[in-house]
Amino acid sequence: MESDKPLKVAVLGCGSVGSQVVRLLGEQADDLAARIGAPVELVGVAVRRLDAQREVDVPPGLLTTDAVGLVTRPDVDVVVEVVGGIEPARSLILAALENGASVVTANKALLAEDGPTLFEAAAKVGRDLYYEAAVAGAIPILRPLRESLAGDRVTRVLGIVNGTTNFILDRMDSSGAGFAEALEEAQELGYAEADPTADVEGFDAAAKAAILASLAFHSRVTASDVHREGIAEVTAADVESAREMGCVVKLLAICELRETEDGQSAVAVRVHPAMIPRSHPLASVREAFNAVFVESEAAGQLMFYGPGAGGAPTASAVLGDLVTVARNRLAGTRGVGESAYADRAVLPMGETVTRYHVAIDVDDRAGVLASVATAFAENGVSIQTVRQEGRGADAQLVVVSHESTDAALSATVEHLRGMDIVREVTSVMRVEGASE
Ligand SMILES: NC(=O)c1ccc[n+]([C@@H]2O[C@H](COP(=O)([O-])OP(=O)(O)OC[C@H]3O[C@@H](n4cnc5c(N)ncnc54)[C@H](OP(=O)(O)O)[C@@H]3O)[C@@H](O)[C@H]2O)c1
């Protein structure tokens, strides 16, 4: 399909990502036109403040604070939403679709909170809603899950999907720094915000986990379904303990397909710090990079790696979507919409199966090991390895369990905390990506 009629694009937001989208739309206009089959014309850029300094020279007359007016213009073909947050982004996207535009967004928070409303609106008007940039920045992962793996059965997705926390944990691992020190360094280098809550407490990763799980398992999963723990409690001792086991600590987004007792399959989805073996491909993901490791029945193991954030990398994913939705418009068709036919339930965290690494300061006397082993057994958790370290006041047991439900494992830890012979449970961390 080819057309001389320009395809009209409105961009909402001109911050880190929007400014790079505007730049690339200008710099690559000829190539984009050739790839789409029609020239692309930027018709407006909505912002909050007209007088703010921009990373890009927006062509004169295009900046506006009237985002509603822009998305409801009758001639707009594609709206790119890179404002972020829930409102007004949601209302603007809904208005754009209602107006017949196709939409490209990078808004993980909105998709994870209220994706179905947006997908239904897009389906109702027969338009595209694409969002590759919402998970792991430049890394193509949503399209592979939605299209390339559509003939396979994905069983597990393990992701390092937050660059800030990966940078902090990587520093703690390489320099022995504590959490606060590593966070400060991340802030100085621009890898962490002044208010790092969304990253450090796992909210950002949880939104991405919800999006990944929805696509991988053809079911609706929202951010509130995701069990979430951040990295603020990870200590230098945890990282050292991991090192002694040949592991590294990573904040993982984990999406799994699990068989339930009644023979159905359910989705388990969680974000928390975990120890993974240094031999696991995800262990080699350093600094602020992202990676998503996918396991599927026929394909086996796949890993997608690259920059998970940043204006230009994220704009690359946005423009990839823009080319696709533009081609679809020209061909009078739309791409794959939401696929939630499997409608799987989401398992509560307590029923999720995992393994624990537990370090315990214990009294150095006969029978301690047996008592600790009994505590595990009484909670139905079997032990894979026990390491005994130190003597006297430094006596420590390091236990790695076999797989068990998270409820049984956390009950075991509570049990240990109540025992006379246990001075302190010094480190509790889940172990992932290792064979039993
Ligand atoms: N930055 C990344 O690396 C990255 C990576 C992946 C995904 N994303 C996603 O991309 C989106 C944008 O992120 P960003 O980092 O580019 O954000 P940002 O730098 O804060 O930019 C936000 C832009 O939206 C504009 N804006 C805010 N409220 C508005 C309103 N009510 N009406 C019109 N414009 C409004 C702002 O205008 P002013 O400039 O006038 O204030 C600004 O230009 C978010 O959904 C984010 O999650 C970002």
- CATH code at position 371: 3.30.70.260
Element holding 47 (H helix, E strand)? none
Residue 2 inside a domain? The answer is no
Residue 188 inside a domain? The answer is yes
How many Å separate Cα 312 from the centre of its chain? 19
Indicate the top mutation candidate among 19, 48, 191, 290 to test ligand 1's pocket, ranked by most ligand atoms within 8 A of CB: 48
Spell out where 154-288 has E strands. Answer: 154-160, 227-228, 247-259, 265-277
Amino acid identity at 217: F
Domain boundary among the residues 277, 308, 339 is at 308
Q: What is the DSSP letter of 260?
A: -
Residue 189 inside a domain? The answer is yes
Domain boundary among the residues 308, 339, 363 is at 308
Residue 374 inside a domain? The answer is yes
Q: Mind listing the pLDDT tens digit for each residue in 263-300?
A: 899 999 999 999 999 999 999 999 999 999 999 999 99
Task: Please state whether the peptide bond connecting residue 88 to the residue before it is cis, i.e. omega within 30 degrees of 0.
Answer: yes
> In b/e form, how buried is each residue of 122-142, taking b as 16+ CB within 10 angstroms?
beeeebbbbbbbbbbbbbbbb
Using the predicted structure, report yes or no on whether residue 260 has a pLDDT greater than 90.
no
How many structural domains does the chain have?
3
Nearest ligand 1 atom to alpha carbon 204: 47
CA of 180 to the centre of ligand 1 (A): 28
pLDDT at 392: 85
* Lookup: tokens for 348: 């509560």
Indicate the top mutation candidate among 19, 24, 47, 64 to test ligand 1's pocket, ranked by most ligand atoms within 8 A of CB: 47
**Using CA atoms, how far apart are residues 100 and 258, in angstroms rounded to an integer?**
40
pLDDT at 361: 94
Q: Mind listing the pLDDT tens digit for each residue in 328-369?
A: 999 999 999 999 999 999 999 999 999 999 999 999 888 999
CA of 145 to the centre of ligand 1 (A): 26
How many Å separate Cα 136 from the centre of its chain? 7
| pLDDT, the chain, mean | 96
Residue with tokens 């262990």: 283
Pocket (CB within 6 angstroms of ligand 1): 12-18, 46-49, 52, 67, 82-84, 88, 106-108, 133, 137, 309-310, 314
Element holding 407 (H helix, E strand)? helix 406-417
Are residue 126 and residue 185 in the same domain, yes or no? Answer: no
Are residue 101 and residue 170 in the same domain, yes or no? Answer: no
Q: Which residues are catalytic?
A: 208
Residue 341 inside a domain? The answer is no
Kindly state the average pLDDT of the residues 72-80: 97
Are residue 302 and residue 317 in the same domain, yes or no? Answer: no
Q: Which residues contact 80 (CB under 8 A, 6 or more apart)?
A: 9, 10, 11, 12, 18, 21, 103, 104, 105, 318, 322
Residue 343 inside a domain? The answer is no
Residue 286 inside a domain? The answer is yes
Are residue 39 and residue 94 in the same domain, yes or no? Answer: yes
From 139-143, 260-264, 329-333, the region with the lowest mean pLDDT:
260-264
Indicate the top mutation candidate among 11, 14, 17, 114 to test ligand 1's pocket, ranked by most ligand atoms within 8 A of CB: 17
Using the predicted structure, report yes or no on whether residue 45 has a pLDDT greater than 70.
yes
Nearest ligand 1 atom to alpha carbon 137: 6
pLDDT at 261: 82
pLDDT band at 148 (very low <50, low <70, confident <90, very high): very high
**Using CA atoms, how far apart are residues 339 and 221, in angstroms rounded to an integer?**
12
Kindly state the average pLDDT of the residues 48-58: 95
Amino acid identity at 363: D
Kindly state the average pLDDT of the residues 28-46: 98
Single pTM value for the model: 0.97
Are residue 232 and residue 165 in the same domain, yes or no? Answer: yes
pLDDT at 412: 98
The percentage of residues in the chain with a pLDDT greater than 70, rounded to a whole number, is 100
Residue 221 inside a domain? The answer is yes
Are residue 164 and residue 124 in the same domain, yes or no? Answer: no
pLDDT band at 3 (very low <50, low <70, confident <90, very high): confident
Are residue 147 and residue 285 in the same domain, yes or no? Answer: yes
Are residue 261 and residue 166 in the same domain, yes or no? Answer: yes
Domain boundary among the residues 268, 299, 331 is at 331
Find the CATH number of the domain harbouring 319. Answer: 3.40.50.720
At residue 88, the 3 state secondary structure works out as: coil
Are residue 91 and residue 178 in the same domain, yes or no? Answer: no
Beta strand pairing call for 265-277 and 422-431:
parallel
pLDDT at 389: 85
pLDDT at 436: 64
Indicate which residue's Cα is closest to atom 28 of ligand 1: 48
* Lookup: tokens for 118: 């947006």
Are residue 183 and residue 213 in the same domain, yes or no? Answer: yes
Are residue 245 and residue 318 in the same domain, yes or no? Answer: no
**Using CA atoms, how far apart are residues 425 and 294, in angstroms rounded to an integer?**
33
CA of 81 to the centre of ligand 1 (A): 9
Q: Which domain holds residue 290?
A: 142-308
Are residue 226 and residue 181 in the same domain, yes or no? Answer: yes
Indicate which residue's Cα is closest to atom 18 of ligand 1: 15
pLDDT band at 393 (very low <50, low <70, confident <90, very high): confident
From the list 272, 263, 267, the residue with the least C-alpha distance to 347 is: 267
Q: Which residues contact 248 (CB under 8 A, 6 or more apart)?
A: 169, 173, 239, 242, 275, 276, 278, 283
Are the CB atoms for 25 and 40 separated by under 8 Å?
yes
Find the CATH number of the domain harbouring 259. Answer: 3.30.360.10
- Beta-ladder partners of 285: none
Nearest ligand 1 atom to alpha carbon 309: 3
**Using CA atoms, how far apart are residues 271 and 159, in angstroms rounded to an integer?**
9
CA of 65 to the centre of ligand 1 (A): 14
